[in-house]
Amino acid sequence: MLSRIHGGNLREVKEKYGDDAKLIDFSANINPLGPPTSAYKAILASLTKIEYYPEDNPKELKRALADYLEIEPENILLGNGSAELIYFLANYYRPRKTLIAAPTFCEYELAVRAVGGEPVFFELSPKEQFFFPKDSILSQLGEVQMLFLGNPNNPTGNLIRQGDLLEIIEEAKKQGLVVAVDEAYIDFVEDRNRFSLIGEAIKRDNLMVLGSLTKFFALAGLRLGYLVTNGRLVEEWQAKRPPWNINCFAQAAGVAALKDRRFVQESRQIIQANREDFQRNLSQIKFLKPYPSEVNFILVEINHPQFNSIWLQKTLVRQGILIRDASSFRGLNDRFFRLAVRSKRENEKLIEVLKEILG
């Protein structure tokens, strides 16, 4: 059985290693710029709202999100993080079998298992740079009722071509399958509209796109995610989800963040430039192989005769650096770890330490 392991467990790591120094966290894939200042201001301005229930179907937030995504509010279902919506979908459709990538984000598998379903896996192979195996997926569709895809995929960081996805969605429709595409990291992609399926999801019955404000807007603690699909399904699901699932601070900060176009532009530019430098520098370190990435994290393979990613994580924690040992991802092993792209200075610090450790 897969266990629930995520990055960003700073407290747990500090307890385990007895280190209360400040850690640089490369293990959680959050925008290193932190939340927009506008979001902090919005939260402070709404402190007095905590004695009231939050708006159940928050109009202003939905309008801001609809404008950001260039769709209509009728196509949006909000969630307490996109994780809530992954579980909502699994619970609503209750698929007997669900097709899921290996490696990918563990919650797709945990959500289908939680409702008694069984995951069926397709392999993303390091030998093929984790390239999306469209033909093998098409051939497996007959075995399942649902398909979960990460685009971009965590932890591999790569994107699926829109043409390939549309082919799969069309075939899934013919066979009566539902497809959920998780775009939690798509805001980091340079040309998000070339890859996002939001425009398709609003027209279709068998396609749901999931999104999140956790990663790009660095609002992980507030819990704010969304689902986009056709208006009829959204209306039905509005009545079936728990009430008041978006708290007053998430509502206020969400509106401010989504309207903060300068933050959006700056984040994309800085992270992209930092990723390119980071990737180039990592590829020059002996025994390390970074895989291509379109987002704010990089999957790296360590091919050292003695050392693996578990050893590397332990060694780096002692130097105040936390990485995500990726051996817990189904389909990977202890040769893989994942690094979030952080500030130029922090990335350079890690490169220096890695060079020292690995020679």
Ligand X SMILES: Cc1ncc(COP(=O)(O)O)c(C=O)c1O
Judged by CB under 6 A, the residue of 27, 31, 154, 229 near ligand X is 154
206 lies in the binding site for ligand X (CB under 6 A): no
Query: Helices marked H in the chain — which ranges?
Result: 10-17, 37-45, 59-69, 82-93, 107-114, 134-140, 162-174, 192-195, 198-201, 231-238, 248-259, 261-283, 309-317, 344-358
Question: Mask of contacts with ligand X, 164-183, x by CB under 6 A?
Answer: ------------------x-
Identify which range of 41-49, 81-89, 167-175, 336-344 contacts ligand X by CB under 6 A: 81-89
Cβ contacts of 300 within 8 Å, gap of 6 or more: 282, 288, 289, 290, 291, 336, 337, 338, 339
Identify which range of 13-21, 57-65, 76-84, 254-262 contacts ligand X by CB under 6 A: 76-84
Which residue number places its CB atom closest to ligand X?
A: 81
293 lies in the binding site for ligand X (CB under 6 A): no
Identify which range of 14-22, 75-83, 95-103, 237-245 contacts ligand X by CB under 6 A: 75-83
Cβ atoms of 229 and 75 within 8 Å: the answer is yes
Distance CA 333, CA 316 (A): 19
Judged by CB under 6 A, the residue of 214, 251, 267, 313 near ligand X is 214
156 lies in the binding site for ligand X (CB under 6 A): no
Distance CA 25, CA 9 (A): 9
296 lies in the binding site for ligand X (CB under 6 A): no
Distance CA 144, CA 147 (A): 8
Look-up of token digits 């959050």: 30
Closer CB to ligand X, residue 197 or residue 220?
A: 220
Sequence letter at residue 71: I
Judged by CB under 6 A, the residue of 31, 75, 82, 98 near ligand X is 82
In the complex, the residues that contact ligand X under the rule CB under 6 A are 6, 81-83, 105, 150, 154, 182, 184, 212, 214, 220, 225
